[in-house]
Structure 1
Amino acid sequence: MSTSWRQRWQEGRIGFHLQHTHPALAKHWSDLAIAPDTKVLVPLCGKSLDMRWLAEAGHPVLGVELAPEAIEQFLTQSKVSVSRYTQAGFDISRQGSVELWCGDFFHLHIQEAAEIGAFYDRASLIALPPATRERYAFHLAQLIPPGAKGLLVSLAHPDHGAGPPYSVLGTEIHQLFTANFRVTLLEEGSPDERGRTESVWSLTRRGPLV
């Protein structure tokens, strides 16, 4: 996937990128009652403006992205100065309260995610083919502490085998996450002109609270 993903960014084939904050984030994030200073993990973050929204809501943000092109484009959207350093094999750019880790999400380990207390997935799960989605759900569970919450925006469409974005039905979301998360459907939209339907989920990490 890494080569094709980089190629998409290099060629500007990023139809998945929104030029605005996703409505589900503004609508449902407050319902999760996550403390403002809680650090939010955003896997496969691209140059999503949702990270700016989270930062403005008081959250430190840790975004993980494979394509350096996406990170540089995000950074140029703001005049805030950038500091850069390397840690645990990732090239990290910090701008304000947003940290962007350039590298493979599956190489992010619990030591690096120790401060994470919430997560947000708008286009991560649906960017991954079926076999990788299982790995993603398991890895996310390793990084998220018990009791922590997150928001997941998924997509279903008629051409189930095609992607990204791939079609991920509610039944699969339950199969992927229920072992490690309490899964709640918050909203299911109406199909758009291409028959694509978004759904919004809250996930709470299971396990004993420390």
Structure 2
Amino acid sequence: MTDLWRARWQEGRIGFHLPRPHPALQRYWPLLGVPDRAKVLVPLCGKTLDMRWLAEANHPVLGIELAPEAVEQFLAESSVPVARYQQAGFTICRQGSIELWCGDFFHLHIQQASEIGAFYDRAALIALPEATRQRYAFHLAQLVPPGAKGLLVSLTHDGEKAGPPYSVPNQEVETLLSPNFRLTLLEESEPDERGLCEKVWHLVRRGPLA
């Protein structure tokens, strides 16, 4: 899996990358009621401009990305100085209020995510093969506190297309996440010319509030 994504970034096969913030993020994030200055976890973040949008909306951002190529491309798109350091198997780059942790998302520990107050997944769940998605759903739930809110963008294909991005049906999203999150389906797009249909979900971490 690691080699697959490194190869895609090295070869520039990143058709999933949008040259602008995702419209669903702009449309729905302000309606979630996420507290001002809450740090937002962005798993498998790539070089998404959604992180800059969240930072401009007054949220510190913690992005986790496996491919150093993606991290370096993201940093190069801004003239803001970068601080670099190492921690527990991650190479960390801080640019303004955005931290990019280059390493394996599954190696991020609860203690390292102690300041997380919200989350945003536009391309993490759908980037993982079926055998790994259960592990991802469980690990995400471990990292965010009860009451934390987030947005998830999932995707289905019209027919049996290979991934990534992978087709994750609504029922699978609910099966994976409903044990630890309350889910609300906010939007379901019409299939595009490639047969891809995006779904936008509002998630709230279950559990007793402090």
- TM-score under structure 1 normalisation? 0.99
Residues of 2 paired with 1:40 and 1:122: CA distance? Answer: 13
Q: Deviations over 1:49-104 (max 9, x none)?
A: 00000000000000000000000000000000000001111000000000000000
- Tell me what 1:2 maps to: 2
- Tell me what 1:80 maps to: 80
CA contact (8 A) 1:38 1:116 kept: yes
Q: Deviations over 1:8-27 (max 9, x none)?
A: 00010101000111000000
CA contact (8 A) 2:158 2:191 kept: no
Taking the TM superposition and a 5 Å limit, the aligned residue runs for 1:194-209 are 194-209=194-209
- Tell me what 2:181 maps to: 181
Deviation at 1:158, TM superposition (A): 2.1
SS at the partner of 1:112? helix
Structure 1 residue identity aligned to 2:60 = P
Q: Deviations over 1:93-151 (max 9, x none)?
A: 00000000000000001010000010000011000000101100000000010000110
CA contact (8 A) 1:84 1:91 kept: yes
**Identity over aligned pairs, percent:** 71
Residues of 2 paired with 1:71 and 1:159: CA distance? Answer: 33
CA contact (8 A) 1:158 1:195 kept: yes
Tell whether 2:64 aligns with 1:59: no
Structure 1 residue identity aligned to 2:201 = W
Unaligned runs of at least 5 residues, structure 1: none
Tell whether 2:12 aligns with 1:31: no
SS at the partner of 1:21? coil
CA contact (8 A) 1:185 1:199 kept: yes
- Tell me what 1:140 maps to: 140
SS at the partner of 1:111? helix
SS at the partner of 2:54? helix
- Tell me what 1:44 maps to: 44
Residues of 2 paired with 1:36 and 1:168: CA distance? Answer: 31
